[in-house]
Chains A and B, each alone.
Chain A
């Protein structure tokens, strides 16, 4: 619905009034279509004409049949004429004397200090943000109490949901356990099945490896071969691997292979590492995203000599130098 005419300074031209609400056009639209075919081009406030069309699909001025699809914003010249009108603030009755151009009204209303609904922080202690006109009847304890109540309600709801989900997880765990047992039994009892399962597991690692970005080690000297003290780092790396879809059947083994005692002969002591250092550059390493560590997977490194590689691969943790 449009702006009441008496709020404007000076005379407002009749052409700028909405024939439905008789106020100054707000968000004006007119009846026209893209082809500018024989349509009447009468202009109305968007809200007014929508309300009318819901009741009767005709133009309110000349009763020509129209549809809401034919309503389009009015031409720029009309919008400019409207924007130029000077209107008194909505909060005039609360004492605001401001008169602004119509297109600045919204911006003014946002900051008008006479707006009785302007959000204000309570200064009596609770600090809640409340509409200005409710500050007087505001009672910190009452408000906070109802806030607590609503939050307790939320908490109860969340707890109930949590319990429900826990229950479902347990059920699924039991089911997975059963399936695992079943798989194990199949493997043991049937060699062909074992071969298929092994192949599937290997394929899965290859597929997974293909999703990981290549890593470049700039300082092989930063390698930490005995990360016994780095429990937290190891936990983080494991978690990252899991988040990046590491196949579960290799994750524990990979994490164990981050220590030189699990590494192949060419790597498992300072001396052998000295002598095979030249071959480091031949490793194909994959990134552990966000961590100073690389994955050297067996499936990526079949070109390496046997004493430089183990199944299913190894994790190398670095102090620095990973890109």
Chain B
């Protein structure tokens, strides 16, 4: 790893650890290996959002050319958000792409991601299904995002009606996560979700 990248990451790692956001448990960063090429980040869901109370884990890969190129960041924790892929965790955020600037740091990246959770950009989506729901059925979106937060990010909300629908599908032998994705994608319309799931199964057979 280039000297400059290692030097930067070491410093930024310390910066995050000493920052006041860490003191407030808003962001966190851990080392994955000794060479500072890979880190694990964590951000808390911002208050007054469907993500409140959740903790979202991020994979941070530092390229050899850092800080001249941005770090590669994706969500490990599954999340329902217009700018984050519900399948891969890939993030659509300008500062992680063409708007990266060399003076940005791990801390500013984590805070930007936290801000992204508060203010989605449905017109520049990473996940078209989520973005459509966000625009057309905001309440449905809120419920779904909250549900995902509770299931995957340790959020507090328990939503028994949604859980019931998932159980109906798992009882039919559908894997739980697949059931959740199908229901979320069809605005929790059990019939359409079932149809879609079995069409896929039949297509595979």
Contacts and interface: CB of A to CB of B under 8 A. Distances in A.
A1 B101 contact: no
A20 B105 CA distance: 10
Contacts of A56: 101
B7 A20 contact: no
Contacts of B68: 20, 51-52, 55
Contact of B101 (A5, A21, A22, A60): A60
A190 to B, nearest CB: 79
Interface of B: 3-4, 7-8, 11-12, 67-69, 99, 101-103
Contact of B4 (A21, A55, A61): A21
Contacts of B3: 1
B101 A61 contact: yes
A19 B11 contact: no
Contacts of A19: 102-103
Contacts of A61: 101, 103
B103 A21 contact: no
A2 to B, nearest CB: 9
B198 to A, nearest CB: 50
Contacts of B12: 22
A278 interface: no
Contacts of B7: 4, 21-23
A268 interface: no
Given A1-B3, A55-B68, A22 B8 contact: yes
A48 B102 CA distance: 9
Interface in A164-210: none
A63 interface: yes
17 contacts: A1-B3, A1-B4, A4-B7, A5-B11, A20-B4, A20-B68, A20-B102, A21-B4, A23-B7, A42-B103, A55-B68, A55-B69, A58-B101, A59-B101, A60-B103, A61-B101, A62-B101
A305 B155 CA distance: 124
Most B-side CB within 10 Å, residue of A22, A52, A58, A62: A22
Given A21-B8, A51-B68, A60 B102 contact: yes
A22 B102 contact: no
B94 to A, nearest CB: 11
Interface in A19-43: 19-23, 42
Nearest to B10: A22
